Structure 1
Amino acid sequence: MREFTAISLFAGAGGLDMGFERAGFKTIWANDFESDACKTHENWSTAKVVCGDVAKIDAEDIPDADIILGGFPCQGFSLSGPRKIDDSRNVLYKHYVRIVKAKKPQMFVGENVKGLLTMGGGSIIEAIIEDFSNCGYNVYCKLLNARDYGVPEDRERVIIVGFRKDLGIKGFEYPVPRNYKVTMREALKNLPEPTPEEVCNAPYSSRFMSRNRKRGWDDVSYTIPAMAKQVTLWPGSPDMVKIDKDLWKFGSEGETRRLSWREAAAIQTFPADLEFYGDIVSKYKQIGNAVPVKLAEIVATHLYGVLSNTLHNGKERKTD
């Protein structure tokens, strides 16, 4: 089995990278701006992790690799908050484009939120695809829900895949959804009762109380957010009760609490023994910003087969 090399931009704690490593890709270099996330990544991987602003990184200082990975920051594209076309975070993907253009990997993978598809009436995703296409890539994008790929979570994300045009890969098909669902009962069954220090105990905001935040044991979780105080409820909590439009209250029977950061990590399919660095707010942030490891692994396994078959058939050619 050939091991393809990868470099990772906006790597965070490494959910995307970990999934790709499980499928036969080796991350040799990674970058993120958040120091806690970099420490978490260094703790589990053998990659050289460079902590700092991607805008200040020269492409010549990045090693060559078969693939570039990157879940570029998505806050400006999110449906959960104000969407601003001129949000400064929305142009960070251009540094991804810059590095792809300079390094010319055989393929790249980008990840972002559902809102990317409709922002600016679709003009933003069209511009992103055009930018990568102009770098010499056949580009594809599709909205996938992690719950369809063995992740105990409703999490819709746009997966962007690009193949260098000289490889001749056209008509790419994404992995098909699995015919099984992993529930929170299965995902959390082996976790011990969390300590108070592992659960965010911040006051519940009016935004939190504006809708139902609880699903049961035999369902998948709501999307794990990056903001600790918005993390949804542990499935053993009593059901929330609707009392008015956009206004709910907690049930009175039993303990009401948020998911602990370890439970959130398990739902995001990180290994149970993975240690996240930083305070509790930072841990929730790293987990909520990550690509679910299992989703990444399934996408990566599919891409490994596509790339291996292409190279085996002798279609790899050097670029100018």
Structure 2
Amino acid sequence: FTFLGKHYARLPFAIVWANEINVAACRTYRRNFQKEIICGNVWDVMESMPQADVLIGGFPCQDISINGKGAGIQGQRSSLYKAMVEAIKLVKPSIFVAENVKGLLMRHNRASLLKILDDFNTLGYNTTYDLYNSADYEVPQTRERVFIVGTTQEAGTFTPPPPVLAKDQWITAQAALADLEALEANPEINHIWSRANRSSDQGNRHLDANKPGYTIRAECHGNIQYHYNIPRRISMREAARIQSFPDEFIFEAKLR
């Protein structure tokens, strides 16, 4: 596939099972991957998981997020990491990857992090974690996320990938979005934008043309960032570009 004029090779893996609880996300998955996905609560469908070499998951982060309420893994949403523990027990992958927010590394979440690592280690995996900034890896967005990687003894030790770009080489918002500026609104390619008034909620910042985009949050409530050059909020397509989605990736969701 191609992103910002550069060609990338797809990883040599075949997806054998996928799950999501959000109906719109399931429709989007089916449209873009031409594969089936089980739509529903993971606890209700877990028994259908087949054996696999790699298991990838991201448990909800709202209770751990810097912008969240700080409930930690005892919170209703973030405690779903336990579902990933159970999934690993069932699937028995050689490698697993778990993603979460930077807030997991904050001092008040230290006990939560240690509990998560201990639960994964108890399953017999060599577990490591690192903080990554997506801008270091050719994504025009400064998104910092923690990736926990577990490997079996047979799989060997995981080596974190080094950054591809130095900070002064980061892809800017203007470099990623400039060719979309002259386009009229077009729902067929998700080039539509929220007309929500400015508020004191999260978001509402203007992109800096000379820096990568800010983190695109899971729940914007219409308060997504403003364009660096045009007097409007960024479109769904522009938000997708910032997150490195190819332009042919279409979202089956309504604009909020």
Q: Same fold (TM over 0.5)?
A: yes
1:136 aligns with 2:124: yes
Per-residue Cα deviation, 1:129-187 (whole angstroms, up to 9, x for no partner): 111111111111101000111011110000111102343x23x3211111332112221
Partner of 1:69: 56
The alignment status of 1:195 with 2:188, answered yes or no, reads no
State yes or no: 1:38 paired with 2:26. yes
TM-score where L is the length of structure 1: 0.70
Q: What is the aligned-residue RMSD (CA, Å)? A: 2.1
Partners in 2 of 1:156 and 1:72 — Cα distance?
Answer: 16
Of 222, 230, 235, the match for 2:228: 235
The answer to which structure, 1 or 2, has the higher relative contact order (CA under 8 A, 6+ apart) is 1
More helix by proportion, 1 or 2? 1
Of residues 241, 254, 275, the one that matches 2:250 is 275
Deviations 1:183-220 (A, max 9, x none): 122211333525287111112222358xx712332211
**How far does the alpha carbon of each residue in 1:259-314 deviate from its partner, in whole angstroms, 9 at most, with x for none?**
11110001101011211112113xxxxxxxxxxxxxxxxxxxxxxxxxxxxxxxxx
Counterpart position of 2:94: 106
Residues 62 and 155 (structure 1), Cα distance of their counterparts in 2 relative to 1, 3 Å cut: same
TM-superposition CA deviations, 1:42-66 (whole Å, max 9, x none): 111143300000011233x111111
Q: Is the 8 A contact 2:176 2:241 kept in 1?
A: yes
Runs of at least 5 residues in structure 2 that lack an aligned partner in the other structure: 1-7
Query: Which residues of structure 1 form unaligned runs of 5+?
Result: 1-19, 238-254, 282-320
Structure 1 runs (4+) greater than 6 angstroms displaced = none
Q: Deviations over 1:213-244 (max 9, x none)?
A: 1233221111111214231111114xxxxxxx
1:153–1:267 CA contact under 8 A, matched in 2: yes
TM (norm. structure 2) is 0.86
Q: Percent identity over the alignment?
A: 36
Deviations 1:89-148 (A, max 9, x none): 011111111010111111011111101122644111111111111111111110100011
1-structure distance, mates of 2:57, 2:145: 13
Residue identity in the other structure for 1:28: V
Q: Counterparts of 2:105 and 2:179 in 1: how far apart (Å)? A: 37
Does 1:259 pair with 2:247?
no
* Bigger radius of gyration: 1
Structure 1 residues 159 and 76: CA distance shift in structure 2, 3 A: same
User: After superposition, where does 1:76-155 map in structure 2 within 5 Å?
Assistant: 76-85=63-72, 86-118=74-106, 120-155=108-143
Aligned residues: 239
